[in-house]
Structure 1
C-alpha cells in the first residue's frame, strides 16, 4: 500500500510535466496583450526621435551644444540623467544618450513590471489561474509563459529602438547597444517582478514591491552618477547603471550587459524555486490574521474605505517622505549654480529647482490617486461590490465614500511629501522657513490631484471599460511639464498640470485653483450619477 502511494506521488501529472501547456498559455497572453504591448514598445521607441528633435532645437549651434554639454558636468543634472561618456567631444546623438538614456530604462522597467504582474499574480488573484490549472497545464506554465512573453516583448523593443536610434543618427552598432541595454534592464525587472509575485497574494503588492526596487536602484544610480561624471562606485550596484556603463557612442563595451543577464537568470531561478514552495493563490509572505470582529467605527462606508487603503497609504507616505527628504537635501548644491535653461528658473535657480521637485511630488501622488480609484473597477468586476450594495449601503454612499477616502489620503500624502521636501531643503541651505513654504507649494497643487480622481470617477460611472484612460491624462501632463520643450500654448493648456503657479518660483494665484476644483467637483458628481444609473459588472 505504501509503495503504491509513493509510486502515485512520484508519477508526473496526467498530460505532462510542470511546463505542460506553456505554448497555449503564451498564445493566450499574446492574444490578450495584442494592443497593450505594441503600444508600450512603440511608445518607448518613438520617444527617441522626439527627444532628439527637442535637443536639436535647443542645441542648434555649436556654441549651444557645447553649453549643453557643460550641463552634464553638473552633479545635480547627473542625479537625474546618470553618468555621461564622450561629452568631451560633444555631438547631438551623444547629448541625447547622456541626458535621456534613463528615461528609456524607466519605461522598459515599468513595462516589464506591469506585464509580469498582470500575467502571474493578477491571474491567481482573480481565480482564472485556478480554472486553467484544472486542465492539463503544468505548475510552472503560467510563469514560464509570462517570462517568454516578456522576452519576446523586449526583443521587439530592441528592434524598434535600434531602428529609431539609427534614424536619429546613431551608427548601427551603437544603436543596437543602446537598444539592448534598455531591453536588458527591462528583463531584470521582469525577473524582479517574477520573484515579488511569489511573495504577496495581490498583484498590486507584487507590482508595488517591484516598483520599490525600481525606485531604490534609480536613487542608487543617481547618487553614484552625482559622485563622478563617469559614474561612482554606487552606480555599479544599480541595474540601470549597468546599461549606462555600456558607454554608448564613446568607448563602447557590451560586457556590462552580462551583469543584467546573470541577474535576470538568478531572479528567474529564484522565482521558480519560490513558486514550487507555495500553494496556488497564496503568497510566501503570510497574511496578517484579522480580528474576530470588526470595530464599530468600521460600520461607515468612509471608514471602511480608509481601512482598505491603510497599508497602501502607509507605504506611499513613507516613500514620499523619504523621497522629499532626499531631493530637498540636494537643494544646497543648487547654490553652486545650474544652467538656468535646465529648470526654467531664470536667475532664481534654487527656487526653480524646489518648485520643480514640488511638481514632481504631485505627479507621484497622482499615481497613487489613479491606482486607488481604478481599484473600484477591479472590485466591481470581481463581484465584491454587488453583495455590499445588497445591504443598506447605497451606490451614492459607497462610491462617494470611496472617492472621499482617496481624496483625504491624497491630501495627506501631499502634505507628507511637502514636509519632507521642506525639511530636507531647510537642513541643506539653513533656512527653516522653507519647511512651511514648500509644504504650501505642494499642497496648493491639490486641485490637480483631485481632478485626476474626479476624471477617473467620471469614467468609472459613465464608461467603466475606459477607466484606464486617466493614465493617459497623467502621462500627457508629465510629458507637457517635463519634456514638451517649446510646445505651443494650446497644447499646454490641455494639461491639468500647467495652470497652477509653480511655487515658490511663481506667485500664488487663486483663480486656477478655484476653476480646477470646480471642474473636479462636476466630474465627480457626474461619475457618481452615472454609476447610480448603470448596471454592475461581475455582480
Structure 2
C-alpha cells in the first residue's frame, strides 16, 4: 500500500506561509494611525520644497539669462557635481533643468531618509520597546509587522510621487517629466525602505538599524558624487548607486523610465533578504549581538559626568569622523571656485562665499547633534534606565546638568573638528594657508547659536517632555527662515525669530558681541528652566 503525501505538505506549507502574514491588514491600519501626523508632514514638506527651491533659485541665483548661463557653467565644474549634478543636456539649459541639476539629489536624500525612519520605527523600534511581543501575543503572524511597515512605506512613496509630480507641473515641468520626477523619488525611497528592512534584522537597537541604513545612504551618495566627478552625465561609479539610478532617469533630458526598474529590482531582492533573515531569528534578537560590558565599572566612570561622557562617546566619535570627511571634501572644492557675478553672492570672492555657506551648514548639522543628544536622554527615561541611576546618590539636576555639559563640550569639539577639516581642505586646494585659520575661527563663532539649539530641547525635557520633538520644529524653522526667508519675502522681524539669524556668516562671519551675549544668556535661561522642570515633575516610566 502506498500513499502520496506531497499535496498535504503543499497545503501545510501554504497555510504556514499564510499564517506568517496573519493580521497584516490590522498592522497596516495601526501603522497608518500612528503615522497620521508624521508621514503627511514628511510628504508635504518635501512637496512644498519643490516650488520653494525653484522660486529661490530663479529669484536669487538665476533671475536673468546671463546668471543662468554662468550658474550652468559653474555647476558643471567637477567639484560642484559632487554636491549637485550631474547635468544632462546642458546645451539647452532651462531654469527647470537647472533646478534639477542643483536640487534633485536633496529631494532623493529626503525621500530615502523618510523611508529609513518609517521602516525602522515600525520594526526594530517596536521590538526594542517590547510592544512587538505584546502584539505577537495576539493573532499576528511572524512577518505581519515587517510587511505592514513596507506597505505603509509603499503608500507613502506613492503619495510622495503624486504630490511632487503636481508640484513639478506647477513650476513648468511637462506632465511626463513631472511624473518621472515623482517616480524617481518614490523609487529611491523604496530602495532605502528595503535597506532599513534588512538592517532592522541585524542589530538589537533601532538606533543601530537606522545608523546602518544611514551609512548605506551615505555610501550611495558618495558613489553618486564620485561618478558625477567622472563625467558630466555620470561615469561608471554613478551606476553603482541607487541615488544615481533615479537621476539617470534623465528628467527633461530624454525621460527614460527603465533605470527605475533597477531600483525596483534591488528593492525586491532586499525585501526577500529581509524576510529570509526575519525567519531565522527570534523576536527581539539580532544577527549582530551587542558586546557585553564589563562586570564592574572602573573608578573613573562612577561620576554622572563620566557616565554621560561614556554613553555619548560613540555618537561623538561617529559624528566627528563624518565631520572630518565632509569638511575635507567640501573644503577641497574651494580651489575650483573663482569670483562670480551670481546675484546671490553679489560678485564676492566665491571661494570665501562658498566657505561661509559651508560654515553655516556645519553649525546647522551640529544643531542636529544637539537635538539628538537630548532626545537620547528622554529615551533613557522612557525606557526605564534613568530610575536606577537616580535611585543612588545622583540627583536629577546633577544627571541632567552633567549630560548637557557633555553635549555642550561635544558641540564645541565638533565645530572645531569640522572647522579644521574644512579649513585644511580649503587651504590645500586653494594654496592659501591663511584660509585654515579663518575657517576655524568662523566655526567657533557659531557656538552660541548651537548652544541655544541644545537648550531648547533641554527646556522641553524638563517642562514638557511629551513635546520634546518640537525641538526639531525650532531647528527646521530657524534654518529655512534664515536661508530662504529673504527670497520668500519674509519680513525682517520674522527672520529675526530664527535662532540662526543673529550671527554674521558671510563672508566667513564676524564677532558680534551683543548677539553672542544674548544667545549665551538665552541658552543659560532655557537650561535653567529645564533643570527646574526636571526637579519638579514625575518621571515617565513607559
What interval of TM-score do these two structures reach, taking the shorter chain for normalisation? over 0.9
Mapping of residues 26-425 of structure 1, within 5 Å: 26-58=28-60, 59-335=62-338, 337-341=339-343, 344=345, 346-425=347-426
State the match for 2:446 in structure 1: 445
Superposed CA deviations along residues 5-59 of structure 1, whole A, max 9, x for unmatched, are xx9xx99999962212111111110110111111111111111122232233344
2-structure distance, mates of 1:202, 1:528 = 29
Q: Is the 8 A contact 2:67 2:342 kept in 1?
A: no
Q: Is the 8 A contact 1:71 1:338 kept in 2?
A: no
State the match for 2:525 in structure 1: 522
Q: Is the 8 A contact 2:364 2:479 kept in 1?
A: yes
Q: Which runs of 4+ in 1 moved over 6 A?
A: 10-15
2-structure distance, mates of 1:332, 1:46 = 34
SS in 1 for 2:501: coil
SS in 1 for 2:150: helix
Q: Is the 8 A contact 2:80 2:333 kept in 1?
A: no
Superposed CA deviations along residues 309-331 of structure 1, whole A, max 9, x for unmatched, are 12111111111111111212222
1-structure distance, mates of 2:391, 2:189 = 44
SS in 2 for 1:309: helix
Report deviation, 1:60.
4.4
Residues 112 and 14 of structure 1: CA distance in aligned 2, closer, same or farther (over 3 Å): closer
Report deviation, 1:126.
0.6
1-structure distance, mates of 2:438, 2:351 = 13
Report deviation, 1:492.
2.3
Q: Is the 8 A contact 1:76 1:334 kept in 2?
A: no
Report deviation, 1:80.
2.0
Q: Is the 8 A contact 2:124 2:204 kept in 1?
A: yes
1-structure distance, mates of 2:431, 2:52 = 40
Q: Is the 8 A contact 1:162 1:178 kept in 2?
A: yes
Superposed CA deviations along residues 112-149 of structure 1, whole A, max 9, x for unmatched, are 11101111111111110111112222111111110111
Residues 15 and 140 of structure 1: CA distance in aligned 2, closer, same or farther (over 3 Å): closer
State the match for 2:514 in structure 1: 511
State the match for 1:3 in structure 2: none
Residues 356 and 60 of structure 1: CA distance in aligned 2, closer, same or farther (over 3 Å): closer
Superposed CA deviations along residues 62-111 of structure 1, whole A, max 9, x for unmatched, are 44444443343333433222212233223232222222212211211111
2-structure distance, mates of 1:196, 1:261 = 18
Report deviation, 1:240.
1.4
1-structure distance, mates of 2:341, 2:458 = 41
Q: Is the 8 A contact 1:345 1:505 kept in 2?
A: no
Q: Is the 8 A contact 1:438 1:504 kept in 2?
A: no
Report deviation, 1:372.
1.1
1:458 aligns with 2:459: yes
State the match for 2:430 in structure 1: 429
Q: Is the 8 A contact 2:327 2:422 kept in 1?
A: yes
1-structure distance, mates of 2:130, 2:434 = 53
Is 380-389 or 145-154 further displaced after alignment?
380-389
2-structure distance, mates of 1:515, 1:145 = 49
State the match for 1:4 in structure 2: none
2-structure distance, mates of 1:56, 1:429 = 30
Runs of 5+ unmatched residues, structure 2: 1-8
SS in 1 for 2:315: helix
Two-structure CA RMSD over aligned residues (Å)? 2.2
Superposed CA deviations along residues 321-357 of structure 1, whole A, max 9, x for unmatched, are 111112122221124x555445x37422211111222
Residues 271 and 409 of structure 1: CA distance in aligned 2, closer, same or farther (over 3 Å): same
Runs of 5+ unmatched residues, structure 1: 1-6
Q: Is the 8 A contact 1:340 1:349 kept in 2?
A: no
Count of matched residue pairs: 529
Q: Is the 8 A contact 2:77 2:336 kept in 1?
A: no
Q: Is the 8 A contact 1:328 1:423 kept in 2?
A: yes
2-structure distance, mates of 1:76, 1:338 = 16
State the match for 1:24 in structure 2: 26
- Tell me the TM-score normalized by structure 1: 0.93
1-structure distance, mates of 2:431, 2:65 = 39
1-structure distance, mates of 2:14, 2:246 = 42
- Tell me the TM-score normalized by structure 2: 0.92
2-structure distance, mates of 1:345, 1:407 = 36
Is 232-241 or 201-210 further displaced after alignment?
232-241
Residues 345 and 329 of structure 1: CA distance in aligned 2, closer, same or farther (over 3 Å): farther
Is 423-432 or 138-147 further displaced after alignment?
423-432
Is 455-464 or 218-227 further displaced after alignment?
218-227
1-structure distance, mates of 2:501, 2:219 = 29
